[in-house]
Amino acid sequence: MVKTGLDILVHEKSHLLVNQRVGLVSMPAAVLPDFTFSVDALGGAGVIVTALFGPEHGFDGAAADGVQIGHATDPRTGLPVFSLYGAVRVPTAEMLANVDILVFDMQDVGVRFYTYLSTLFYVLLGAGKAGKPVFVLDRPNPITGSLIEGGAILPGFESFVGIINIPIRHGMTLGELARYMNKEYALDADLHVIGMQGWQRQMWFDETALPWVTTSPAMPHLSTATLYPGMCLLEGTNLSLGRGTALPFEVCGAPWADGYALAEALNRLQLPGVRFRATAFTPATSTHAGAECHGVQVHVTDRDSLRPVEMALHLIAIARCLSGDAWMWNPHFERLVGSNSVSSALEEGRSVTEMIANWEETISTFLRQREAYLMYG
């Protein structure tokens, strides 16, 4: 079994936090193998937790995507809960007044625009300014640390869903990324990463023997995370990507779409590791809420050969052509891909293959740059 940073800290290294007031930055998927939540695991090891900090979706993981969250009091522990996804996203001196050390423990999904990475960036920034040490408790990248995909963020396209210039699917853990960001972006935090034992870069999450807990309301399964690096790009269009259904990021469509035509055109491409099947669904929330949508379900047949970002760009290109005047982009697409060049290229009719080729130099540079910060073979 892979041992997470939390497991190692509470069972082997809790002395590092003795007599310290700890601020815990966490969320519900940060558990021990027996499902003990991080705040309870720390308390059971004698660690004095004095404040809680929550990311997007909140410390309790209940808020929908993009919903601003205010400060609160945790009803079970009575501890203050400071939101890092509200009016303030960098922990302030006031938030840290009763904290000697920050402990960060979150289960990420290995994608640049999944915002726990951005919260980690701002935690390091705020802690560096306040002179507070940060302990990052590392966890697996659930979609492996060996597969990389996606282009760069161009200047001017940085955002909370593109906080640092790395590929969309980056193949790093949050512990490794903390080391990377702290050095490359001069965040100046007193950083300590409690690494995992037993994790290897080629591992998928279900090969770790660790329990999967929903990482956010629309990320219920590993199968969701497998497609997420690409399917999330549909948030920048007027297609539903299945939020408000049992299969978020695994189905997509719209009221006007022809799912059979879309599936047939995509299957003709013979993309590796995936097949498409026409389907209909009615999302309860988000885009086209309450309307019957027609589109496709994405079925992964070989997750190691699948390239979800490339796949999603093919899907978008074909759906755009089939949708005619009904098709719309929104500005979020540029934030997700990190530039305006992709949507412009698709509008000009350029091939996805050409766009993918432009990623090669970015990925090669990133692989060389990240090497100094990797912690696992």
Cβ partners under 8 Å of residue 139, min gap 6: 4, 5, 6, 30, 105, 106, 107, 108, 173, 174, 175, 196
Q: From first to last of its 377 residues, what are the pLDDT tens digits of the chain? A: 899 999 999 999 999 999 999 999 999 999 999 999 999 999 999 999 999 999 999 999 999 999 999 999 999 999 999 999 999 999 999 999 999 999 999 999 999 999 999 999 999 999 999 999 999 999 999 999 999 999 999 999 999 999 999 999 999 999 999 999 999 999 999 999 999 999 999 999 999 999 999 999 999 999 999 999 999 999 999 999 999 999 999 999 999 999 999 999 999 999 999 999 999 999 999 999 999 999 999 999 999 999 999 999 999 999 999 999 999 999 999 999 999 999 999 999 999 999 999 899 999 999 999 999 999 99
Q: Start-end ranges of CATH 3.40.50.12170 in the chain?
A: 5-214+368-373
> Which residue is listed with tokens 């497991």?
7
> Which residue is listed with tokens 């050390």?
101
Q: Start-end ranges of CATH 3.90.1150.140 in the chain?
A: 222-339
215 touches 29 (CB < 8 A): yes
Per-residue model confidence (pLDDT) at position 187? 97
- φ/ψ of residue 124, rounded to 5: -65, -40
Host H or E run for residue 105: strand 101-105
Residue of 122, 258, 113, 141 lying closest to 201 (CA atoms):
141
Per-residue model confidence (pLDDT) at position 247? 98
C-alpha 30/C-alpha 7 separation (Å) is 10
Written as six digits, the tokens of 290 are: 């309450």
> Which residue is listed with tokens 């309301």?
217
C-alpha 21/C-alpha 96 separation (Å) is 10
Task: Give the three-state DSSP class for 50.
Answer: strand
Amino acid at 232: C
Give burial (CB, 10 Å; 0-12/13-18/19+) of 285.
middle
Amino acid at 290: G
Residue of 182, 101, 171, 183 lying closest to 142 (CA atoms):
171
Q: Which CATH class is domain 5-214+368-373?
A: alpha beta
pTM greater than the 0.75 cutoff: yes
Instruction: Select from 3.90.1150.140, 1.10.10.60, 3.30.70.270, 3.40.50.970 the CATH code of 222-339.
Output: 3.90.1150.140
First to last CA, the chain: 16
